């Protein structure tokens, strides 16, 4: 089985339109640290992007960074003096390393060189930027790194050890991405693009405003399509983009849950702070889910899992034939039903995508699978789209959620489910603000 665990967090690229802007209501301050890597040229664009979104940017550069891009450029773009020297005497108390982080909402190091990552992992502080990072109040000022380096440098065991240590210390790592590198090689190590870094920073700030009512709760989410092989190069799949499942995973994370995402093949990037397991087929997804299910309290089955799979995939690429092609299919195992029928199942939320009679089919699906919550949506409009319009069905009835971005729909679903889940744990919890339109009592899961 090909189940690949993504070791380092990467970010999901979202359009600005899908994100709540924090800029105008609450201007944020970011210290942008630039270290010595080729990608330092992208920091100029990043500075502009952060400024455009209303974020106040204070640039701090290492000596090596100034070999790649001048402080003058960054000063012009940020509109502020750039700090580079630990021994700067212009700050009244002479302690730039303390003063610069005291008002900051985050320190973002982009690019973060292998050298700088090694320094931070070992607590070294022999220049302004590293001293600033160590002297910050870690509770008030998170440290976010966007590594950028040659792929051999990234894969070097020392770099990997250092990154793992920083993650354990609570440092957020964005990327890196894979692709063409300045050195002419191809592989992992490219810095995320400025727009993606901006999105990650905005998402991070927006998430800080979400109530953490699921703090400490473990959640498992499936997302995306599955791919059922017919032969080594062909298969049966569907047009699910994974956007709804990824949005649910992000909303759960924002509510404080520890989230594992089991994802079929999608073009989306794994969101920050979410552990992902990548699978291909329905049977791989089932195995990955069953491997994790005992550890979780909430299970969201959002993936569009294939209902059928070829009985005997051909070992070689099949040749085109004038006789046509007949493929014998067998039903796949129903993952949600399997989980829901466990002796002590987690709190299960199913998704039903139908092309007609959506709510009626969803209600029946909820009954037959004996799950507490199901979310129905119109497959023809929801699959692959950025927006969705759903009806949540639970014991108290049907709760329509009007058309909105999948991020907003996900936030409402998670808020409602959190209320139901917490109420089960402690019956005094108050109701969520999604109002039922009918109240047909069906059964308890």
Q: Which residue numbers are catalytic?
A: 183
User: Distance between CA 361 and CA 375 in Å, rounded?
Assistant: 11
Q: Which is nearer to ligand FMN, 64 or 71 (CB)?
A: 64
Q: How far is the CB of 188 from ligand FMN (least distance, A)?
A: 13
* Rounded Cα distance, 199 and 61, in Å: 22
Give 192 or 247: the residue with its C-beta nearer to ligand FMN.
Answer: 192
Copy the structure tokens of residue 148: 């950028």
SS3 state of residue 289: helix
Q: How far is the CB of 118 from ligand FMN (least distance, A)?
A: 8
How many Cβ atoms from other residues are within 10 Å of residue 216's Cβ?
Answer: 9
Calpha distance 245→23 (Å, rounded) = 27
Measured from the CB of residue 77, what is the shortest distance to ligand FMN in angstroms?
Answer: 19
Shortest separation between residue 136's beta carbon and ligand FMN, angstroms: 18
65 versus 413: smaller Cβ distance to ligand FMN? 65
* Residue 120 CA from chain centroid, whole number: 24
Nearest to 345 by CA among 246, 421, 258: 421
Q: Is the Cβ of residue 63 or residue 431 nearer to ligand FMN in the bound state?
A: 63
Exposure string of 404-436, with b = 16+ CB inside 10 Å and e = fewer, is bbbbbbbbbbbbbbbbbbbeeeeeeeeebebeb
Structure-block tokens of residue 326: 């007949």
Closer CB to ligand FMN, residue 68 or residue 347? 68
Nearest one of 413, 343, 416 to 382, comparing CA atoms = 413
The pair of structure tokens assigned to 156 is 């070097």
Q: How far is the CB of 60 from ligand FMN (least distance, A)?
A: 11
Most distant CA atoms of the chain, gap in Å: 85
| Contact status, residue 306 vs residue 228, Cβ threshold 8 Å | yes
Closest to ligand FMN by CB, 154 vs 204, is: 154
CB of 28 to ligand FMN, least distance (A): 25
Q: Which two tokens stand for residue 231?
A: 């032969």
Q: For residue 191, which of 206, 203, 207, 173 has the smallest C-alpha distance?
A: 173
3-state secondary structure (DSSP) of residue 45: helix
DSSP labels, 381-392 = HHTT-SEEEEEE
Shortest CB 150 distance to ligand FMN, Å: 6
Which residues, 6+ apart, have CB-to-CB distance to 442 below 8 Å?
Answer: 363, 366, 367, 395
Region for 242 from its dihedrals, namely left if φ exceeds 0, alpha if ψ lies in -120 to 50, beta otherwise: left
Peptide bond into 236 cis (omega under 30): no
C-beta closer to ligand FMN: residue 65 or 255: 65
Name the site residues for ligand FMN (rule: CB under 6 A).
Answer: 35-39, 62, 64-65, 113-116, 148-149, 153
């Amino acid at each position: 089985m090909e189940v690949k665990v993504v070791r380092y967090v990467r970010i999901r690229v979202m359009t600005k339109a899908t994100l709540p802007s924090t800029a105008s209501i609450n201007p944020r301050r970011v210290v942008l640290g630039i270290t010595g890597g080729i990608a330092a040229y992208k920091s100029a664009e990043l500075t502009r992007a952060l400024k455009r979104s209303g974020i106040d940017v204070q640039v701090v550069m290492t000596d090596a960074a100034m070999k790649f891009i001048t402080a003058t450029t960054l000063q012009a773009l940020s509109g502020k003096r750039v700090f580079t020297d630990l021994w700067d005497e212009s700050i009244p108390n002479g302690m730039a390393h303390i003063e610069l982080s005291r008002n900051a909402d985050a320190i973002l190091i982009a690019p973060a060189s292998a050298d700088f990552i090694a320094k931070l992992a070992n607590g070294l502080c022999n220049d302004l930027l590293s001293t600033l990072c160590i002297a910050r109040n870690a509770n008030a000022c998170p440290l976010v790194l966007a590594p950028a380096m040659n792929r051999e440098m990234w894969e070097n065991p020392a770099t990997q050890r250092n990154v793992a240590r920083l993650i354990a210390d609570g440092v957020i790592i964005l990327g890196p991405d894979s692709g063409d590198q300045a050195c002419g090689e191809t592989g992992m190590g490219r810095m995320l693009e400025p727009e993606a870094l901006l999105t990650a920073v905005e998402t991070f700030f927006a998430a800080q405003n979400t109530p953490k009512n699921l703090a400490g709760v473990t959640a498992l989410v499936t997302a995306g399509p599955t791919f059922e092989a017919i032969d080594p190069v062909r298969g049966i799949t569907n047009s699910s983009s994974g956007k709804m499942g990824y949005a649910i995973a992000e909303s759960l994370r924002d509510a404080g849950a520890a989230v594992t995402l089991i994802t079929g093949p999608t073009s989306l990037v794994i969101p920050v702070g979410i552990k992902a397991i990548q699978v291909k087929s329905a049977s791989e997804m089932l195995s990955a889910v069953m491997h994790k299910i005992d550890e979780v309290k909430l299970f969201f089955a959002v993936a569009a899992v294939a209902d059928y799979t070829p009985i005997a995939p051909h070992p070689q690429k099949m040749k085109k034939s004038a006789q046509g092609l007949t493929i014998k299919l067998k039903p796949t195992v129903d993952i949600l039903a399997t989980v829901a029928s466990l002796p002590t199942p987690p709190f299960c939320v199913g998704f039903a995508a139908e092309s007609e009679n959506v709510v009626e089919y969803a209600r029946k699906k909820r009954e037959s699978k004996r799950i507490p919550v199901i979310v129905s949506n119109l497959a023809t409009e929801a699959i692959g789209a950025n927006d969705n319009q759903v009806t949540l069905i639970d014991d108290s009835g049907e709760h329509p959620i009007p058309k909105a971005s999948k991020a907003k729909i996900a936030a409402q679903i998670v808020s409602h489910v959190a209320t139901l889940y917490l109420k089960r744990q402690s019956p005094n919890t108050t109701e969520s603000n999604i109002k039922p339109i009918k109240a047909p009592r069906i059964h308890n899961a």
